[in-house]
Amino acid sequence: MCGIVGYYGPRAPKDVILDGLKRLEYRGYDSAGVAILHDGEFKRVRASGKLSELAKKLEGEPFGGRLGIGHTRWATHGVPSERNAHPHKVEGVSLVHNGIIENYQEIREELRSSGAEFTSDTDSELVAHLLAREVRGTNDLFAAVQGVIPKLKGAYSILAVWEKQPEVLVAFKNGPPLVLGVGDGEIVVASDVQAIVSYTNKIVYLEDFEIALVQGASYGVYSDKGEPLRKPVHTLNWNADAVEKAGFRHFMLKEIYEQPRAVAQAIAPHVDLDRMTVRLAGVGMDVPYDRLEAVDALKDSENTAERLSLVERVFVIACGTSFYAGQVAKYLIESLAKVPVETDIASEFRYREPVIPPRSLVVVISQSGETADTLAALRLAKRAGAMTLSICNVRRSSIDREAQGHLYMNSGAEIGVASTKAFVSTLALVNLFSLFLARARGGITADQERRHLEALLATPAQMEAVLSYDKWFAEAAERLKGYRGVLYMARGVNFPIAMEGALKLKELAYMHAEGYAAGEMKHGPLALIDERMLIVMVAPTDQHYEKTLSNLEEARARGGHIISLGTGDNQELKRLSRYYLSLPKAEWTVNPILAVIPLQLLAYHVADNLGHDVDQPRNLAKSVTVE
């Protein structure tokens, strides 16, 4: 989704804004632009396509001022083009916008009837028109923004500047994230801290309906009614190096290689190694939650374990890859803790009028912590009186801030649009959570907990071994890209991994792929199988192995070419498959963490071999802040 950067300070705004937009590239975009102060006016430069196109246009452009705003656009209203790129400028007001104005038609008609002329097809330009009209009356940009907010419906965050107040930048948040970086004599405003960390680690997170007023190097945060707010300044422990490629060709490949560390970092805070037990440190479910009035027993209980022991139903809600992690959680929680689990795609959950009984726990999973549908699902769950727990990578993101309890992926910055390390970290966390819940409810013995924990603690080292398939897939990519499509199949806890493998191939290689429960094959997909169809069968030695093997025989009998993933030196699988990839022997609970790595590598190498932009696949965004 769109990226926003604004800067006031002694450095060249052009450089800071371009650098910031570059660091936000992962969000996905199709055009970009800046408006920077020069000789008393905000000079606008925009370009369609990649940031390098904008950079070319900016070469040699003199900008004398200290203030500027910039934007990468991900088209919603109007095709990707220079005329639709931001900033939009109307009568000296320049504006960048992230989100969607839902009452766009109505505003456009109203503006048109009062004589406005439009230079783009965007909803964002309308906001610039409204602001230009308002500022004529208020003669003050902050007051103009306040005046325009009630006229807009939808989710939208904006930065605005006005030529008559050349030291002033106004930022408003309603939906898409906005953060302020407070440096020494300089201020950076951006959609994500990644655009800020090179300049300062002092961060102020704006909440919905807050307005930040930057005046020179000082700032204030206000409610939309204009009341001053006292906002905490957080100190980040990230640094800019964390968002470099470190010698890898792509962020995605670097992130695939970082997975063993990501899993170790996700696990570390939550394991008591002396007692070999899960402790879910700092999860925060013991903090009183004012919306629990309908669940008195939960409210009265003293700590996280007690609270969770009273949970009678778990809902796991997420989108995309995070949703597949949620489906793995269902298998683990139901099997280990014996609590019924419903999983739902957030965009369905929020509109299907779900029944959320008392003593329900709603777990929302989101790497970015900003996914609009997941955030809406969380809010719905809170209104229904459920306990809520978020699993996020980005701390202080909207979902993290609004959930009652928190688990952190601790994966470090994930830049590749295709999620990899955040996924495996989540799988590790749902392992821990299931064990914790199982213990809290008396569902497993200390010995069982120890066995599962030992298996989990061993995974980072086992993952290192699986990463060696990198070379194999690099060599096989040329052959694999020739298939008409790929069917990924598995059973049980690995079924979501089949779906995740298919999603990875779709989003990166733009090849058709499906993830299926292997037992479903004869109910339809078998008809697809011939020698042009590649079958990827995830078949580790677990309780489903024999049945998966029969499904493999069926696929082979129809001429499908098979890559199988099994445990150790499995002769049966070798005989039935064109290619056999061996996974280390592990507990069923951690097999998904190991099995997903070859599927990520397959998608990565096929996409790279096809010449696709692996880190920024077409049409996709990292942080999906509109529904």
The residues annotated as belonging to the active site are: 2, 622
Residue whose C-alpha is closest to residue 269's, from 278, 259, 261: 278
Query: By C-beta, is 210 or 507 nearer to ligand AGP?
Result: 507
Query: By C-beta, is 221 or 376 nearer to ligand AGP?
Result: 376
Torsion of CA 127, 128, 132, 138, to 10 degrees: 50
> What is the C-alpha separation between 172 and 181, in angstroms, rounded?
15
Residue 347 engages ligand AGP in binding (rule: CB under 6 A): no
For residue 313, the tally of other CB atoms under 10 A from its CB is 17
* Three-state DSSP state, 63: coil
Token readout for 196 is: 């800020």
Query: By C-beta, is 67 or 376 nearer to ligand AGP?
Result: 376
Residue whose C-alpha is closest to residue 600's, from 433, 457, 473: 473
User: Shortest approach of ligand AGP to residue 626 CB, angstroms?
Assistant: 12
Query: By C-beta, is 336 or 430 nearer to ligand AGP?
Result: 430
Residue 259 engages ligand AGP in binding (rule: CB under 6 A): no
What backbone torsions phi and psi does residue 311 show, to the nearest 5 degrees?
A: -70, 130
Query: By C-beta, is 55 or 620 nearer to ligand AGP?
Result: 620
* Three-state DSSP state, 397: coil
Query: By C-beta, is 48 or 371 nearer to ligand AGP?
Result: 371
User: Shortest approach of ligand AGP to residue 300 CB, angstroms?
Assistant: 33
Question: Which residues are CB-contacts of 97 (< 8 A; sequence separation ≥ 6)?
Answer: 2, 71, 86, 88, 123, 124, 127, 156, 157, 158
User: Shortest approach of ligand AGP to residue 230 CB, angstroms?
Assistant: 30
User: Shortest approach of ligand AGP to residue 170 CB, angstroms?
Assistant: 28
Contact 43, 163 (CB under 8 A): no
Residue 366 engages ligand AGP in binding (rule: CB under 6 A): yes
> What is the C-alpha separation between 538 and 581, in angstroms, rounded?
10
- Helix, strand, coil share of the chain (percent; to 5): 40, 25, 35
CA 179 to each of CA 182, 211, 293: distance values in angstroms, whole numbers, following the listed order? 10, 11, 33
Query: Judged by CB under 6 A, how many residues of this single chain contact ligand AGP?
Result: 15
Residue 385 engages ligand AGP in binding (rule: CB under 6 A): no
Only one of the segments 168-176, 255-263, 298-306, 364-372 lies at the binding site for ligand AGP (rule: CB under 6 A); that segment is: 364-372
Q: How many residues does the chain have?
A: 627
x/- mask, ligand AGP, residues 486-525, rule CB under 6 A, reads ---------------------x------------------
For residue 362, the number of C-alpha atoms closer than 13 Å in the C-beta half-sphere is 33
Contact 242, 415 (CB under 8 A): no
- Answer for which of 48, 321, 431, 459 binds ligand AGP (CB under 6 A) is 321
* Three-state DSSP state, 168: strand
Residue 374 engages ligand AGP in binding (rule: CB under 6 A): yes
Q: What is the DSSP string of 86-98?
A: SPEEETTEEEEEE
Q: Nearest to ligand AGP by Cβ — which residue?
A: 320
- Answer for which of 16, 253, 319, 476 binds ligand AGP (CB under 6 A) is 319
Residue 193 engages ligand AGP in binding (rule: CB under 6 A): no
* Three-state DSSP state, 29: coil
Residue whose C-alpha is closest to residue 568's, from 539, 601, 603, 596: 539
Query: By C-beta, is 145 or 417 nearer to ligand AGP?
Result: 417
User: Shortest approach of ligand AGP to residue 444 CB, angstroms?
Assistant: 29
User: Shortest approach of ligand AGP to residue 544 CB, angstroms?
Assistant: 26
Only one of the segments 137-145, 314-322, 513-521, 561-569 lies at the binding site for ligand AGP (rule: CB under 6 A); that segment is: 314-322
Query: By C-beta, is 260 or 320 nearer to ligand AGP?
Result: 320
Only one of the segments 73-81, 315-323, 347-355, 514-522 lies at the binding site for ligand AGP (rule: CB under 6 A); that segment is: 315-323
Query: What is the b/e burial string over 93-130, where b = at least 16 CB atoms within 10 angstroms of the residue's CB?
Result: bbbbbbbbbeebeebbeebeeeebeeebebbbbbbbbb
Token readout for 358 is: 């008392």
Residue 18 engages ligand AGP in binding (rule: CB under 6 A): no
Helices (H), ranges, 160-300: 251-257, 259-267, 296-300
Query: By C-beta, is 24 or 67 nearer to ligand AGP?
Result: 24
> What is the C-alpha separation between 115 and 325, in angstroms, rounded?
52
> What is the C-alpha separation between 530 and 589, in angstroms, rounded?
33
568-627: contacts with ligand AGP (CB under 6 A) = 620, 624
User: Shortest approach of ligand AGP to residue 262 CB, angstroms?
Assistant: 14
Residue 367 engages ligand AGP in binding (rule: CB under 6 A): yes
Task: Return the beta strands (E) in 18-153 as ranges.
Answer: 31-38, 41-48, 67-73, 88-90, 93-101
User: Shortest approach of ligand AGP to residue 258 CB, angstroms?
Assistant: 15
User: Shortest approach of ligand AGP to residue 66 CB, angstroms?
Assistant: 34
Question: Which residues are CB-contacts of 301 (< 8 A; sequence separation ≥ 6)?
Answer: 307, 309, 310
Residue 320 engages ligand AGP in binding (rule: CB under 6 A): yes
Task: For strands 533-538 and 513-517, give the pairing.
Answer: unpaired
Query: By C-beta, is 175 or 320 nearer to ligand AGP?
Result: 320
Residue 175 engages ligand AGP in binding (rule: CB under 6 A): no
- Answer for which of 146, 322, 434, 462 binds ligand AGP (CB under 6 A) is 322
- Answer for which of 368, 411, 462, 551 binds ligand AGP (CB under 6 A) is 368
x/- mask, ligand AGP, residues 397-436, rule CB under 6 A, reads --------------------xxx-----------------
Residue 122 engages ligand AGP in binding (rule: CB under 6 A): no
Q: Could you list the residues that contact ligand AGP (CB under 6 A)?
A: 319-322, 366-368, 371, 374, 417-419, 507, 620, 624
